[in-house]
Chain A
Amino acid sequence: MEQSWQLDNPILGLIVVGATFVLFYIVGFISNRQSKSAKELYVGGSNVGAITNGLAMAATYMSLATFLGITALILQLQVPFIMLWIQLILAIPLITIIYGTSLRRMGAFSPTHFIRDRYGTTASIIAALFMILVSIMYALGQMIGIAITFETLLGIPYITGLFIFGILIVGYITIGGMAGATNNAAIQMVIIALMFIVPLAAIMKAIGASGWYFPPLLYSDMVPAMMDALPSFFDYQFSPKWYFSIIPALTIGALGLPHLAMRVYTASSLKSARSAMVWFAFILGLVFSATYAMGFVGVFATTTQGVTISDGDADKLTIILNMVYNPEWVTALVIAGAISAGLSTLSGNLLAIGALISQDIISTLKPNISQRLNLRIGFIAIFAGGIASILLAINPPAFLVVSILWAFGLAGVTNAPLIIVGVWWKEANKFGAIAASVVAGAIYIIVSPFVFPSIVLTGHAVTDGMGLSGAMLAVPISFILLIVVSYITNRMPALSGKLTKQADIELIERIHGWKDIKAYRYNSTIGAGITVVVSAAVAIWALMPWGM
């Protein structure tokens, strides 16, 4: 018989979740009383300290998937999914060293802000539209997850939960702005870490693991029993090509996510941004390792302890394990932790949508509107983005985490190459940027299983669905188009009047910290050539049979 997992006492769950909401509202209200300009709204006045920012970076990144989706995919894919997830920790360090500090120096609100200054209006609006799509997909995933949590665990009907809590959340983000979101995200990170790791320790103690006092790493005494019960758990299953495809899809993909990059711009100084990345790596590594332990314990419990979890309930593994092994009040705290994880990511997404619409689209098209009106448009855009994700979540698509990971690839194809090459190569121009974003973006969408299910690269549902195969083809194509089209159009006299070469050169020198201009800097044709050759090799490899 299928068991339905729900708290016996939903009031307890509601009280705990309600208390956390009140806390977030108060912090948001206090933090944002001074938010009078767009700069304060989107980047918290650029004066956030390193520890707060590092924690907020980690919370923004750690979505509801930490509690709901990842453990389910570990249950389904086992070790390959853990290997895939590990490299996600590279996001903030790579953003910081490759372009984050440069864009912070420039004073950008969002990555698209840089694209506008670097490549002009058309390219930036195309990039902003893709980024809004990415942010909405991401926000939608959180919204669905939050409503499902309320539905399945507290017994509140999905639509009711979606609207009531959705509007409460959108309200708190709109009131709080970035300063509120940053302070709240730092608090949420502490809640996430505690509500995930402490209950996991209790579960491990109940199962009899001797290393329960440090759950992220000390569960090796369960390994022999696991190897007896499920010898295939540690198998890599897939070819090196599958593991390689993670780099273009997710490592480069994360470099194009606007809500992550915006966290770097909130830093009070470049030194502080670099310290924040250290805190980010430490805390994210801790919680990620605990997630793998939770997935391991879940597989262990289902294979050796007689706990049965149906396929439909796989997403709830973390919460089910708590229900089986811990008292109910602990599960209520875990649910509050899961909601916090969703909230922090959602607030990052909605702020990104607000910045994209008001700064990157409306201000670009109408540069002369007043600061006051611009700020008001920002608040409206954040609110409207939230409402849009609530409305889209009424009829939710299946497979939460898979579609979020697909959105990583879209960011990697349409945005990341424009920023990376734009920061490091003076020759990159708007024709290259537009070609790269539009053509490679279209290829990525076409080979995804969502539009034309028959046109896919591998036929392996999860690999195509997560965008691994599509990004391995489209990300290198995007780099090639950007470099080759720019190189050719720069040498066409007919087009020289339409390019802003001198302004581009000055911008690049300035964001790297130089006060003068030198022709040899950021101008390597050999570097660009090597990038094209390597990209071409990767794209050809992606087209060859995957053998899956």
Chain B
Amino acid sequence: MKAYKKEVQFTIWMTAAFILVGNVGLIFSIFPVEAMLFGFPVMYIVPILMGWFGVFLLTLIAGKIGNRIDDEIERENETIGHADEAKEV
């Protein structure tokens, strides 16, 4: 049960996080900002930076957690195998 919950929650939250960092332009279209950053308007450069480094960082996190959840599923499979050899519900 634990690994399953983790898998579902990880997929939902990670998908939401990816969509958010890839669509910062949508946020700025709702809440415009006038400031400048690194010599560019914030509304121009922040979506570009998030769309590169933000997504890159999330892929690192997603890769690590994804691998860990795979291992947990594998471990739960082994305990099931020891408890009974049942394949049915």
Contact = CB atoms under 8 A, between A and B. Distances in A.
Nearest to B26: A243
B30 A240 contact: yes
A274 B38 contact: no
A223 B40 contact: yes
Interface residues of A, number: 55
Interface string A127-165: 000000000000000000000000000000000000000
A89 B55 contact: yes
Contacts of B14: 97
Nearest to B67: A271
Given A238-B29, A286-B52, A516-B86, A87 B63 contact: no
B26 A274 contact: no
Nearest to A101: B66
A37 interface: no
Given A220-B39, A236-B32, A251-B19, A285 B53 contact: yes
A289 B44 contact: no
Given A239-B29, A512-B7, A285 B22 contact: no
Interface string A43-86: 00000000000000000000000000000000000011011101
Nearest to B61: A278
Contacts of B15: 94, 97-98
B56 A278 contact: yes
A517 B44 contact: no
A214 interface: no
B77 A83 contact: no
Nearest to A275: B63
A234 B44 contact: yes
Interface in A271-286: 271, 274-275, 277-278, 280-282, 285-286
Given A101-B66, A234-B44, A87 B87 contact: no
Interface in B19-44: 19, 22-26, 28-30, 32, 38-41, 43-44
Interface string A3-36: 0000000000000000000000000000000000
A234 B41 contact: yes
A274 B22 contact: no
B9 to A, nearest CB: 11
Contacts of A271: 63, 67
A274 B25 contact: no
A240 B59 contact: no
A519 interface: yes
A86 B18 contact: no
A288 B62 contact: no
A513 B70 contact: yes
A541 interface: no
19 contacts: A83-B26, A86-B51, A90-B19, A94-B15, A96-B62, A101-B66, A217-B38, A217-B48, A223-B40, A223-B41, A238-B29, A240-B29, A278-B59, A288-B51, A289-B48, A292-B48, A515-B81, A517-B89, A521-B4
Closest 9 CB pairs of A and B: A220-B39, A285-B52, A83-B25, A86-B51, A274-B63, A87-B22, A243-B26, A90-B22, A240-B29
Given A84-B25, A93-B62, A520-B1, 15 more contacts: A86-B47, A90-B18, A96-B66, A220-B38, A220-B39, A221-B39, A236-B43, A243-B23, A274-B62, A424-B8, A424-B11, A513-B70, A513-B73, A513-B74, A517-B88
